Amino acid sequence: MTFSKVIIGPALAVMASVLATGAQAADEPLAATGRWSAYTAGRAATPPMGWSSWNAFATDIDEDKILGAARALVRDGLAAKGYRYVNIDDGWALQRRVRDGALIIRPGRFPITQRPGGDASFRPLTDQLHGMGLKAGIYSDLGRNTCSQAYSSDDTDLPRGSVPEREIGLYGHIDQDIALFFATWGFDFIKVDGCGLRAYGADAAKVRSGQYRALPPILNMDFVNRSDIPAVQALFGQINAALVRENPDGDYLLSLCIWGAADVRSWGKNVGNISRTSDDINPTWGRMLTNFDSAAKRAFYAHPGSWNDPDMLFIGKGDFDTEHLTEARSHMSMWAMINAPLMIGMDLRQAPKPLLDVFGNAQVIALDQDAGGHQAVVAFDSDDVQIFVKTLAGGEKAVAIFNRTAAALNVDLTAAQMKFRDDADVNLVDLWNGGTRRLRKGSTFRIAGHQTLLFRATGKRVLTDGLYLSEQPGNVNPAVDGVAEPTPDPMIHRSATGWQGTRGSGEGPIYAGWGGVQADRAPYGEALAINGVRFDTGVGVLANSRLEVRNQGYRRFRAIVGVNDSARDTRRAATFAVYGDGKLLASRRAMTWGDAGQEITADVTGVRIIELVTRSDGAGGVPLPTTWAEAALLRR
């Protein structure tokens, strides 16, 4: 297919010329590069699993608690099922020695680390964990000081000494500390918080009192435009360089914990293995919904190597204890469906069997750890109930019917929602009770309050010779998603059980992800439609975007393109182009709102990276939603 140049003003004429020749400026973000730019360093081909100290103990940690959790993982069979990381969170450091910047471990809490005549070292502890077949994780902060130093009302477990001695964060010590943690102490995982970049401004109470030095905030939780995003990215870039240098075998994990601030939604996937999408979770149903929502509709922003992180599992307390096994199973089910890291947060030393059975459900774990790496996509959406569908590496589907409310509901599940044909049987296996069910076209399920029905499904595909792109989000990376002005997402559930409880005026939206790339929906959650024709499947993306697609042996790309009917600007035009390994393969003329959708196809035989580029004339103004409807990779 050749490009047909249509003149709709000078800007589009230039754009058409560029597309026609395939020439791209090397420094232009929409220029096809022929490479996959999402993060693949470290060891996160599947989401990491393990245990972390924070939810159970906060800063009140010691050697017995850490090693007790490790022994429990092995004793109860969880390690054998994949829970391998044992992560020490905030509270381990006594101080930083001023003369040489060395970090000092709290000696009374970690006697295993003490060495006669030398500095304490975590190496004996990490060696012990490694000897048990486990991995070891450590904690730090991007700033001079940590989260607990900023927000704890009790200094019992906080670092001691002078103001400089209590500066145990990475700021000014990135290379030194990463070398210490990984090369010297033998850790395999680091969680990096961002409180040090936001909580120590000159007006902070603990700074004014003289407890800590001021560090001008460059990270803002409330307003994305008040974060210095390049500066935050640069710090993570320095961490990445140090990790590569100190881990020549590549055996490490980097966890970004800046809670969805600084537009990390768009770039976290490029710099770390897991990226927190929300503020901290707590053991209440409403807070679980908040954290889940921050990641649930960002399927294209997670891939093998880099995963969305809605925070740890809080199973074991509050609304997820042994008296609330329905809620515990829902929590586990939905984390598995969206490929979240499975990090246990409870004290495992005396964990009751019903909760161990939740953590240890091998069928549910397998969904989270599926080699395909495709986060589940929303097939039905409402405030009350949602249906999520995930494509598995073996060709089956995983399906979750998630009742967000406390009331029992009747819910219809259809073959079409799973992209199966409705004239053939669909077989469902319940992953919590082992029961089976067969449906044709559809079936109605009675679902209890807060319950999640979780199935593995097989059937005849609607698309017999390939996969829609919305079925394989792990192979699609929004290198540029067209979001020029990051906007907090108003659709994320806001609970009343955040850090402040019901003091103040309530929590506003934090996660600046509204308008990003969507599966089977247009940006902002609206329907996929071009000139009145609605589509059940496709990729919705704002104009001036570039999507990288990994091609796994397919021969043909096909889609129907156009400006989505939800566009408010009905005059601007968009062009669509398909590149293969950096070369122009196909393109479509400039199209405006109200134009009929146009088919675009390309031969992608032998192509490794396909790039889908949408351009629009004009700068600024209202974002222009565009559609790659029915976008698919086909075998023939």
Q: Which residues contact 290 (CB under 8 A, 6 or more apart)?
A: 278, 279, 492, 493, 494, 495, 498
Catalytic residue among 90, 188, 193, 279: 193
**Measured on CA atoms in the order 467, 469, 473, 478, is the torsion positive or negative?**
positive
Residue 180 is given by DSSP the state I
Catalytic residue among 76, 280, 412, 603: 280
Residue 242: exposure state from Cβ atoms within 10 A (0-12, 13-18, ≥19): buried
Longest dimension (CA), the chain: 79
Q: Has 119 been annotated as catalytic?
A: no
Neighbouring-strand partners of residue 529: 534
Q: Give backbone dihedrals phi and psi of 16, rounded to 5 degrees, phi first.
A: -60, -40
Q: What is the 3-state secondary structure (H, E, C) of 304-355?
A: CCEEEECCCECCCCHHHCCCCHHHHHHHHHHHHHCCCCEEECCCHHHCCHHH
DSSP notation for 456-483: EEE--BSSTTEEEGGG-GGGEEEEE---
Nearest to 595 by CA among 577, 575, 580, 615: 575
DSSP notation for 119-131: ---SHHHHHHHHH
d(CA 104, CA 108): 12
Q: Which residues contact 361 (CB under 8 A, 6 or more apart)?
A: 332, 431, 432
Neighbouring-strand partners of residue 587: 577
d(CA 141, CA 194): 6
How far, in Å, are 16, 598, 600 from residue 20 at the CA level? 6, 17, 15
Helices vs. strands in the chain: H and E counts, helices first: 13, 31
Q: Which two tokens stand for residue 466?
A: 């390939």
Q: Has 280 been annotated as catalytic?
A: yes
Q: Which two tokens stand for residue 255?
A: 């966890």
Q: Which residues contact 70 (CB under 8 A, 6 or more apart)?
A: 51, 86, 128, 129, 132, 134
d(CA 487, CA 146): 27
Interhelix angle for 285-296 vs 325-337, to 10°?
Answer: 10
Residue pair 493/453 in contact (Cβ under 8 Å)? The answer is no
Kindly report the number of other CB atoms within 10 A of residue 430's CB atom.
14
DSSP notation for 65-85: HHHHHHHHHHHTTTGGGT--E
Q: What pairing do the DSSP bridges indicate for beta strands 49-52 and 85-87? A: parallel
Q: Which two tokens stand for residue 519?
A: 């599966």
d(CA 321, CA 3): 60
The four Cα atoms 31, 296, 386, 366 give a dihedral, to 10 degrees, of 110
d(CA 88, CA 264): 24
d(CA 99, CA 161): 14
Residue pair 218/197 in contact (Cβ under 8 Å)? The answer is yes
Q: What are the residue numbers of the active site?
A: 193, 280
